[in-house]
Amino acid sequence: MAFTSDPSGAAAAKPVLIIAGPTASGKSAAALDAARLTNGVVINADSMQVYKGLPIITARPSPDDEAAAPHRLYGWLEPDDVCSAQRWRDTALAEIEQAHLAGRLPIICGGTGFYIETLTNGLPPAPDIPPDIRDAARAEVAADIAAAHDLLQAADPATAARIEPRDAQRLARAIEVWRATGLIPSEVLNKPRIAPTGLVFHRLILLPERQTLYERINRRAALMADMGALEEATAFLARGLEDSLPAMKAVGLREFGAASRNEISIIDAVEATAQASRRYAKRQFTWLRGRRVASEIFNTQYNSNYTAKMEEYISKIGLTVP
């Protein structure tokens, strides 16, 4: 069992399908359809779905969907762990290799643009950070994260714009690179990257009409409440994890957590979750439209009605299994 070669002529290159899009655009359903059509393996590229404990709040594929086709890197880390882009990339490349060895198509599915960019383009060479500089940067961010973000904003607006004000991990990393090298992070990031060899990436981007997507986000937030998001948030927060951990930044966790403590109503938690998700989707739209490198764009909210459209796309780029 094998796939057709790269249509550009690079016969040795092995295919990887990337399905990206904003939150709630139907990526998981699209990836499952693609996996069924190609005997594929779905590999998660969502920075929140890598953690255990939040399947409802992070909108992880259902157990039935995960059983319908192989799914990798979903819930593979404990919530007190940290998944850097480099760690995810290394693990994803290993999963891609295993899929190819098994005669399956690797299907990267997720909305974390930095993960996908890291996979396809590589990361700049990472500078060595002395432990004292690393510890000092982390302490500085922990002491006053807002002031640390303002400091980075003044020195390197381009990098600050890519880091959420409460993202302590990436903020500390940017500051430690700056202090260790004497260069602002954006200058370090402009150094040459090393892309993986022997792979050809086919990119399918889902870009539904924005108002349609927002309506879907609103419905999904309400559905999360019906599925038990309040109880999930209560159990997760009972672990007593540090606020700076990446898993604690999952959209909806703080909102449903506040409802669990009776600080807000469940109705307010649903609306706050939907609002935060819409803001996140807006940032994803901006990122995706700034990187129009897709081999195909579906301007629609993907669902099971589009299986034939997926089959046509898969056939067109030569990824059907002979």
Q: What is the pLDDT of residues 125-169, one digit of tens each?
A: 777 788 899 899 999 999 999 999 999 999 999 889 888 888 888
Tell how strand 14-20 and strand 199-206 pair up: parallel
> Given this model, what pLDDT does residue 292 score?
60
- For residue 52, report the phi and psi dihedrals to the nearest 5 degrees: -75, 155
Tokens of 178: 């700056």
Contact 176, 129 (CB under 8 A): yes
Residue 287 and residue 5 in contact, taking contact as beta carbons nearer than 8 Å? no
Residue from 3, 5, 17, 9 nearest 310 by CA:
17
Three-class DSSP category at 42: strand
Is residue 7 predicted with pLDDT exceeding 70? no
- Integer Cα distance of 175 and 185 in angstroms: 8
141: left (phi over 0), alpha (psi -120 to 50) or beta: alpha
At which residue do the structure tokens 């419905």 appear?
Answer: 219
Question: What average pLDDT score do residues 191-219 get?
Answer: 92
Closest CA to 17 of 100, 125, 102: 100
| For range 90-109, the mean pLDDT | 97
Q: How confident is the model at residue 86 (pLDDT cuts 50, 70, 90)?
A: confident
Q: Across 154-158, 194-198, 210-214, 292-296, which has the greatest mean pLDDT? A: 210-214
All structural domains of the chain, each given as residue ranges with its CATH number in brackets, are 14-123+194-316 (3.40.50.300), 131-189 (1.10.20.140)
Q: Is the pLDDT of residue 10 over 50?
A: no
Q: Of the candidates 208, 261, 204, 202, which has an alpha carbon nearest to the alpha carbon of residue 234?
A: 261
What is the reported pTM?
A: 0.83
> Which DSSP symbol is given to 34?
H
Q: What is the pLDDT of residues 223-277, one digit of tens each?
A: 999 999 999 999 999 999 998 899 999 999 999 999 999 999 999 999 999 999 9
Q: Does residue 312 surpass a pLDDT of 60?
A: yes
Q: How far is CA 221 from the centre of its chain?
A: 19
The distance from CA 152 to its chain's CA centroid, rounded to whole angstroms, is 24
SS3 content of the chain, % helix, strand, coil (to 5): 50, 10, 40
Nearest by Cα to 148 from 181, 180, 173: 173
Segments of 168-284 assigned E as strands: 199-206
Burial of 222 (0-12, 13-18, 19+ CB in 10 A): middle
Residues of the chain above pLDDT 90, percent: 71
